[in-house]
């Protein structure tokens, strides 16, 4: 059992690791133009993001299973090391092909960082208290959403884009050191059997589904043989994976876990929330930079209100869950607020004031932070302890999958809407690339038309995100609220224990002195008979009578003797134990 100080240290290490993964998803976006300029391969630029998401999404459930089999700490440290190796390789890449491959290596490590950090929380924190700590992790995501664009813009403008990868090294080393020193989990030796065919089927299914959203409507038409073939392959591979999980000795996603009603609903919530969240966060900086003319740093600063809403709501929901032990209301309220915030963002115009825009983002942040951690809390509470790693990874997997699908889907919606609006305004098709040189040559009237077209494209993104938030709300209504396991009452403080011990000692003294007849009569009932201890009782009675014979008037000698026995045999030892507990609690803190 870890002490509070050790738990705080472990949480610091886990938050550092999660910051690595969350920051990496945000930091690359602002550096992509400079990367394309230096390495070439503008047509392959989207793969810098896609390769990471593919590897991360496909690897997430594998980490959960491996951690259940071989131990959480070792697999978590391995994930950090893989992520750091990938970061180093990305920083030294000499061409776009190398960078894409190395981003895949980085994604393999990143897929384990979030999932295993969530699982380790379940290993060291009781269910009732997890909401409080996982609320802090929600704040880490919010911090990364702001720090990512800021740090990426700073390194790109003042140093080199390679530092967006190398900055991971000190954070990763610090996380490794903290985990190695502070995290001590019991180790069990069991026979293991990895479901390699299931792993291959899962990776193939995820890749097929993601490529449909990446290529559909951009590289190929939605009705093209390539997209239809990928969609059919994705469905068939998913069915084959599900069948394999029913026959495998140790499946990656055990049917008993994923078919649990709480886990199934939580997985759906994670998927839908991932889609809606990325729709809210990813495309707001592009609006600020293109339409308002903000720099990368300024667009990052504009996300601070959204982050503040996420952090406040995450911490508040964590406290509510920990205090009340109830969690179902959080995703319902959060999804409703998120839908309202997305609708407000769909109203943005070219001339929308920054103050009003920030107010809209605060609403979105409050909605996201209100329920993003609840699916994990509910899932970890519902499954058997041996399945916590697998279940946690499943939730992280569906959230990452939702983010990947949302990024690709909303990107397609944005580009298609922009192309349609440009065609209506008679603008050149090349304007869809938003090339700075081309924009500089456009007349003022056409430039205004282009900004109007881009604003409508952003509006379309947020309008399409609303149904996913509404679906989250409806699905949350079916979330079964299972009483939190391991609910622990609040531990009395050292001061409370000390005062209680002194009060018990004072009460024992009053009984022995016989100052209160009613108190003597009540205490006498604690000792029904002093027969075997008559000698001791007589001695105690004689001693007590000398001190306070007047106080025992109206009370039988037998009651007085039994009260004094109760004092010396029960109350005084109990007072000593409570005072000792007070000292222990003080030392523990």
> How many of the other CB atoms lie within 10 Å of CB of 524?
22
471 shares its domain with 433 = yes
To which residue do tokens 């610091």 refer? 12
Last residue of a domain, one of 249, 280, 315: 249
560 shares its domain with 517 = yes
425 shares its domain with 531 = no
9 shares its domain with 81 = yes
Burial (CB count <10 Å: 0-12, 13-18, 19+), residue 463? middle
Residue 483 lies in a domain: no
CA–CA gap between residue 245 and residue 511 (Å, rounded)? 68
pLDDT digits (tens, 9 = 90+) for 530-574: 444 444 444 444 444 444 444 444 456 676 777 777 777 777 787
- Number of structural domains the chain divides into: 3
104 shares its domain with 231 = no
pLDDT digits (tens, 9 = 90+) for 338-353: 999 999 998 988 888 8
Tokens linked to 500: 């209680």
254 shares its domain with 240 = no
305 shares its domain with 200 = no
Last residue of a domain, one of 421, 444, 476: 476
187 shares its domain with 203 = no
pLDDT one digit per residue (tens) for the chain, 589 residues: 566 777 778 788 888 887 877 777 667 766 766 776 677 655 566 677 777 877 877 777 777 777 777 777 888 889 999 999 999 998 888 888 888 889 889 988 888 887 788 778 777 777 656 666 666 666 676 667 667 767 777 777 777 888 888 888 888 888 888 888 777 766 554 555 677 788 888 888 888 887 887 777 767 888 888 889 999 998 999 899 889 888 887 787 788 888 888 888 988 888 888 787 766 666 777 777 777 777 666 666 677 787 778 778 877 887 787 777 778 888 899 989 999 999 999 898 888 888 888 889 889 888 888 877 788 788 878 887 777 777 877 787 788 778 777 777 787 788 788 888 877 777 666 655 555 556 667 677 777 888 888 888 888 989 988 998 899 899 989 888 877 655 444 455 666 667 776 777 777 777 777 666 666 666 666 555 544 444 444 444 444 444 444 444 445 667 677 777 777 777 778 777 777 777 776 666 5
Residue 486 lies in a domain: no
202 shares its domain with 261 = no
Task: Say which residues have a Cβ less than 8 Å from residue 451's Cβ, sequence separation at least 6.
Answer: 290, 291, 350
Task: Say which residues have a Cβ less than 8 Å from residue 180's Cβ, sequence separation at least 6.
Answer: 77
> Cα 243 to chain center, whole Å?
30
Residue 482 lies in a domain: no
User: DSSP assignment of 2-37, as one string?
Assistant: --HHHHHHHHHHHHHHHHHHHHHHHHSGGGHHHHHH
Beta bridge partners of 250: none
Instruction: State which residues form the domain around 508.
Output: 494-588
264 shares its domain with 339 = yes
508 shares its domain with 577 = yes
């Amino acid at each position: 059992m870890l002490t509070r100080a050790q738990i705080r240290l472990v949480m610091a290490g886990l938050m550092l690791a999660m910051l690595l993964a969350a920051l990496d998803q945000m930091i690359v976006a602002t550096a992509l133009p400079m990367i394309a300029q230096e390495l070439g391969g503008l047509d392959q630029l989207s793969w810098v993001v896609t390769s990471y998401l593919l590897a991360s999404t496909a690897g997430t459930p594998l980490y959960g299973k491996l951690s259940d089999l071989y131990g959480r700490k070792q697999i978590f440290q391995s994930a950090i090391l893989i992520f750091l190796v990938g970061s180093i390789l990305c920083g030294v890449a000499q061409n776009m092909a190398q960078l894409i491959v190395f981003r895949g290596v980085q994604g393999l490590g990143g897929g384990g960082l979030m999932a295993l950090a969530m699982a380790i929380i379940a290993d060291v924190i009781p269910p009732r208290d997890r909401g409080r700590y996982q609320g802090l992790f929600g704040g880490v995501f919010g911090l990364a959403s702001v720090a990512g664009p800021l740090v990426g813009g700073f390194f790109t403008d003042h140093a080199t884009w390679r530092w967006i990868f190398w900055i991971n090294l000190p954070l990763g080393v610090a996380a490794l050191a903290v985990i190695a020193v502070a995290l001590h989990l019991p180790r069990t030796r069991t026979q293991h059997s990895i479901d390699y065919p299931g792993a291959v089927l899962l990776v193939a299914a995820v890749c097929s589904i993601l490529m449909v959203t990446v290529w559909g409507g951009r590289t190929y038409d939605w009705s093209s043989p390539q997209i239809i073939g990928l969609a059919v392959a994705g469905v068939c591979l998913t069915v084959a994976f599900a069948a394999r999980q029913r026959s495998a000795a140790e499946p990656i996603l055990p049917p008993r876990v994923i078919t649990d009603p709480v886990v199934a609903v939580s997985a759906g919530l994670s998927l839908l929330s991932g889609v809606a969240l990325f729709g809210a966060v990813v495309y707001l900086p592009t609006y600020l930079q293109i339409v308002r003319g903000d720099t990368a740093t300024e667009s990052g600063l504009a996300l601070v209100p959204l982050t503040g809403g996420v952090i406040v709501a995450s911490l508040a929901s964590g406290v509510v869950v920990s205090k009340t032990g109830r969690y179902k209301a959080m995703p319902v309220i959060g999804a409703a607020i998120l839908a309202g915030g997305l609708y407000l963002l769909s109203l943005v115009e070219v001339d929308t004031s920054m103050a009003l825009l920030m107010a809209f983002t605060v609403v979105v942040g409050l909605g996201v932070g209100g329920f993003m951690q609840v699916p994990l809390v509910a899932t970890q509470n519902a499954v058997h302890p041996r399945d916590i790693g697998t279940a946690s990874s499943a939730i992280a997997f569906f959230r990452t999958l939702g983010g990947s699908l949302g990024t690709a889907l909303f990107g397609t919606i944005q580009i298609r809407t922009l192309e349609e609006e440009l065609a209506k305004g008679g603008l050149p098709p090349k304007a869809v690339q938003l090339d700075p040189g081309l924009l500089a040559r456009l007349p003022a009237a056409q430039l205004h038309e282009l900004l109007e077209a881009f604003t409508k494209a952003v509006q379309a993104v947020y309008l399409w995100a609303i149904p996913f938030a509404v679906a989250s709300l409806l699905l949350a209504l079916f979330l079964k609220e299972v009483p939190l396991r391991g609910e622990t009452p609040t531990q009395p403080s050292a001061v409370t224990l000390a005062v209680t011990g002194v009060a018990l000692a004072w009460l024992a003294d009053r009984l022995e002195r016989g100052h209160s007849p009613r108190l003597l009569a009540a205490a006498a009932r604690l000792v029904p008979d002093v027969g075997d201890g008559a000698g001791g009782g007589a001695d105690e009675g004689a001693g007590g009578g000398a001190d306070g014979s007047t106080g025992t008037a109206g009370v039988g000698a037998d009651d007085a003797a039994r009260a004094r026995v109760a004092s010396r045999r029960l109350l005084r030892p109990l007072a000593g134990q409570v005072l000792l507990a007070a000292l222990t609690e003080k030392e523990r803190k």
